[in-house]
Structure 1
Amino acid sequence: MVQMIDKVIIVEGTSDKRKVLQVLNEPVDIICTNGTISISRLDELIDVLYDKEVYILVDADDSGEKLRKQFKREFPEAKHLYIDKAYREVATAPEYHVASVLVQANIHVQPKYLF
């Protein structure tokens, strides 16, 4: 039987994706926007993601905030997850911090990152 993945995390880059994959302990699709996203790509995503739990996890910087605003406008159902501004980027945030952000959204992470 094919397992349907119903959670999707949208990140900016591949290094962000690697960081999130490192701490996850459940199947989650991760989509990279590569920093920006066109309206046509966003429309495509909305069609594909309409019945999934969507989380936005972008950097705590200007480009991340711009992307977050775009998602809030175009995809209001998405849940927004925030990296502490002290770390600025998802990719450079410590694993335990990324794990704690994900746990708060009821996403399962590897227990070793929770201590």
Structure 2
Amino acid sequence: MIQEVIVVEGKNDIAAVKRAVDADCIATQGFRLAPREQAQLRQAYEKRGLIILTDPDSAGERIRRWLTKAFPLAKHAFVPKEEATVPGDIGIEQASPDSIRNALRKVRYREWQPVEEFDWADLLTYGLNGSPAAASRRAEVGAKLGIGYANAKTFLQRLNHYGVARAEFTAAVAEGEGAE
């Protein structure tokens, strides 16, 4: 059983996570978190820790930011967008058990003292910004690093705030280039 409580958006996400791993889950129901669920989240955060696993879409990112402000020491897991999408729907409930387990193996911490290891020049040098293929390359590298897909600004922030090492980054970029 996973020690931390996994925070997802809805009851279908809980079912998907439980098909993948043995874990306790709490659903936020979007931003409609009732006082009872808020108290459960606070207690879980203080006693066991949280892993935030929101949908790989804009609403999921807003919920992740909101939860990160409330629970700054929570861990983060990301399922790549293409692994959580079916025609007409995107979400953790669409992800396979393997995709969820893989995301949970790559859990990241948001660092209190982020190291500004990466800058805009890195994104440009490695084709992660400023080129037609940049978005797909960020998605691929983000999946390999376990930091998920993001626009260039958020991707750079995640590189610096989730403890990604330079060697880990260059290996993920090189692995992506070898697949082309």
Specify which structure has the higher proportion of strand.
1
Relative contact order higher in (CA < 8 Å, ≥ 6 apart) = 1
Runs of 4+ in 1 over 3 A off after TM superposition: 37-43
Backbone CA RMSD of aligned residues = 2.2
The correspondence for 1:67, drawn from 63, 75, 88, is: 63
Alignment of 1:1-115 (within 5 A): 6-24=3-21, 26=22, 28-38=23-33, 40=35, 44=39, 45-86=41-82, 87=84, 88-105=90-107
Q: Deviations over 1:30-71 (max 9, x none)?
A: 001111244956752224431212100000112111110011
User: Percent identical across equivalent pairs?
Assistant: 29
Q: Rg larger in 1 or in 2?
A: 2
Q: Give TM-score scaled by structure 2 length.
A: 0.49
Gaps of 5+ in 2: 85-89, 108-180
Q: Give TM-score scaled by structure 1 length.
A: 0.73
Name which of structure 1's ranges 84-93 and 45-54 shifts more when overlaid on structure 2.
45-54
Counterpart residue number, 2:129: none
Contact 1:60 1:85 in 2 (8 A): yes
Query: Structure 2 CA distance, aligned partners of 1:37 and 1:78?
Result: 20
Please state whether the residue corresponding to 1:91 is helix, strand or coil: helix
